[in-house]
Amino acid sequence: MQISTLNKFFHWFLLLSILFFNGCMSLKPISAQSGASSLYETFFVGELGTQYFIKPILFKEVEKKDKIFLDFTFRYKNTVEDSAIINFSVNSTEIFKNLDSLEIINDIKNISSNKIKLMYNEKLSKKLISRFSCSILLEDICQIFKNENWHINLYIDSVKYSFYSSKKTKKTLKKVCDNLFILF
């Protein structure tokens, strides 16, 4: 009698555990699919509208083979009036502790920020990763995505580090513009 009670308890526990873990694992956003929507994710945030996360986009430095990855997070509901958070990682043989400014330039728009916060530095293999964050007006982000020929400049004590968009990056920027920023 005692064994069957334990057996029932075990079965109920197992069933509830499976349902709980299955429910947690199925919370992946609908937008995380293949194609253009694999470049960004959307999250409904109730009265605040929708939060968008554009996954990291790669830009390369020509001479030293350094790289920078930019990702964007912002919210939108009916009008473009807020700001976007740009987080970026610099993969380099040098460590970046303080940046004077970040500049994103293309044929349509030139945006910049001098309010850059260092998030962390770490060493991965032979490269050093420096992660930063800044805020830019969402309206400016919408404009810059209309042209895929981006140049990223970082300034440290009057030294300029430049990164450019490759063919693949240009295709990525165009897909994000055509599939996400067309909505605004």
Tens of pLDDT, residues 5-26: 656 766 666 555 665 655 544 4
Number of domains in the chain: 1
By three-state DSSP, how is residue 11 classified? helix
Going by C-alpha positions, the residue among 112, 90, 88, 109 that lies closest to residue 101 is 112
Q: Which residues does the chain have with pLDDT short of 50?
A: 1, 24-34
pLDDT recorded at residue 35: 57
Domain membership of residue 141 as a residue range: 30-183
- Provide the whole-model pTM: 0.76
Is 137 within a domain?
yes
Q: How far apart are CA 160 and CA 98, in angstroms?
A: 13
Asked if residue 16 belongs to a domain, the reply is no
Please indicate, yes or no, if residue 14 is contained in any of the structural domains.
no
Q: Give me the pLDDT at residue 64, please.
A: 79
Residue 178 placed within a domain: yes
Is residue 55 situated within a structural domain? yes
What 3-state DSSP class applies to 95? coil
User: In this structure, is residue 90 part of a structural domain?
Assistant: yes
pLDDT number for residue 58:
96
Q: Decide if 102 is inside a domain.
A: yes
Residue 2 within any structural domain of the chain: no
- pLDDT score at 42: 87
Q: How much is the pLDDT for 78?
A: 73
The pLDDT of residue 65: 86
Conformational region of residue 131, where left means phi above 0, alpha means psi within -120 to 50, and beta covers everything else = beta
What is the rounded CA–CA span in Å between residue 61 and residue 57? Answer: 14
Q: What pLDDT is attached to residue 47?
A: 84
